[in-house]
Homo-oligomer: A and B are copies of this chain.
Amino acid sequence: MNTFGNIYRLTGFGESHGAAIGGVVDGMPAGVTIDEAAVQRQLDRRRPGQSDITTARGESDKVELLSGVFEGKTLGTPIGFIIRNSDFRSADYGNMRDVFRPSHADYTYSTKYGGIRDYRGGGRSSARETAARVVGGALARQALESMGIEIFAYTSRVGSVEVPVPYTELDLRAIDDNIVRCPHAATAERMTRLIREVKSAGDTIGGIITGVIKGVPAGLGEPVAGKLHAMLGAAMLSINAAKGFEYGMGFEGACRLGSEAMDSFYRGKDGGIHTTTNHSGGIQGGISNGEDIYFRVAFKPVATLLRKIDTVDLDGEPVTLDAKGRHDPCVLPRAVPIVEAMAAMVVMDAMLMNRCATV
């Protein structure tokens, strides 16, 4: 199952060290003006090797759109695209053939697929696959921007270093001002320092990304099985290393009294109905209410340490693994554009589905 979405659908393919990764975006309406350079810019934000706190693997990750766009506009037909793999050093992974790396997908893929797997760099389980999602999201975003919808994500916590204020007090245009992608400068500096320390110790560290979606009209999301936050949750949890998703008041807020957690309605100066607070996170009963949508996604530390690690081989025999691949000490800076991409695809899909709500 490699397809996301109901109407706006991304079907991806590709192993980390195969010929290419890519995908097909189906369901994009005709008439959307496409800026291919802007798609590439989103990929560049996900690209490895962009700073000293990300992996040194140096793919250029150049996307080629193969169909569905003609004379600068979408045709309504599927948009196929590929990103060639390059600079991979499969030799680095030769010693992975007979070993299951701890807390990776080596063992589970091998079990699921009858012992057959592409052991080079994790194969399909590699986060390299998410490059296809960034393309699908970048295309969706271009359609959404023309509707006044904006999508942001930023690193809000690394280890125990956390942005001390809510998103409403941040300048979300400043997310890319630093390499950790945290728009709170002082916290960004502390985060960067922490990641460098962790990296020099051959360790890795996890954290939290906060997402914010602005300009979503009221009415998006479907009853019961297509609730907007459930679609967002599934999308975020599908990102490699994600361990949790919460929106609006989230876990901590949920444990309060109803009288503390309620959002009162009022009629705004624009004549529309708004809420005085936004514990709901912009979604009520699974359907957007027109307020900002915000959520948090937890990402675990990458399990590939640059140390000797004890594990087992295919037969369950103990072996010591000396990882030589190049990996991120902290995935969050590069996960920011992935979170944005998944959010863009979910909102685009919900926009299209909502066109069928009334006769």
A63 proximal to B (CB < 8 A)? no
Find A248's partner among B219, B243, B265 (CB 8 Å cutoff). Answer: B243
The 5 closest A-B pairs by CB, nearest first: A105-B285, A244-B246, A13-B80, A1-B226, A267-B316
Instruction: Assess A116 versus B30: contact at CB under 8 Å? Given A67-B13, A257-B203.
Output: yes
Q: How far is the CA of A35 from the CA of B286 in the complex (A)?
A: 30
Least Cβ distance of A309 to chain B in Å?
8
Least Cβ distance of A285 to chain B in Å?
2
B288-A114 in contact (CB<8A): no
B residues in contact with A65, CB < 8 Å: 19
| Chain B: CB-nearest residue to A265 | B312
Interface CB pairs A-B, < 8 A, 18 = A1-B26, A1-B223, A14-B66, A14-B67, A14-B80, A15-B70, A107-B289, A111-B219, A112-B354, A205-B258, A227-B237, A230-B235, A230-B238, A243-B254, A244-B244, A250-B298, A251-B296, A267-B316
A284-B203 in contact (CB<8A): no
B residues in contact with A358, CB < 8 Å: 29-31, 76, 113-114, 116
A206-B13 in contact (CB<8A): no
Least Cβ distance of A287 to chain B in Å?
4
B residues in contact with A67, CB < 8 Å: 13-15, 18-21, 124
The segment from A54-62, A174-182, A300-308 found at the interface with B is A300-308
B residues in contact with A353, CB < 8 Å: 1
- What is the count of identical protomers in the complex? 4
How does the 8 Å CB contact mask read for A255-271 relative to B, with 1 for contact and 0 for none? Answer: 11111111111110001
The size of the chain A interface, using a CB distance under 8 A, is 156
Instruction: Assess A208 versus B255: contact at CB under 8 Å? Given A66-B19, A76-B112, A261-B303.
Output: yes
Q: How far is the CA of A67 from the CA of B4 in the complex (A)?
A: 19
B76-A286 in contact (CB<8A): no
The segment from A37-45, A96-104, A165-173 found at the interface with B is A96-104
| Chain B: CB-nearest residue to A31 | B359
A325 proximal to B (CB < 8 A)? no
Least Cβ distance of A129 to chain B in Å?
6
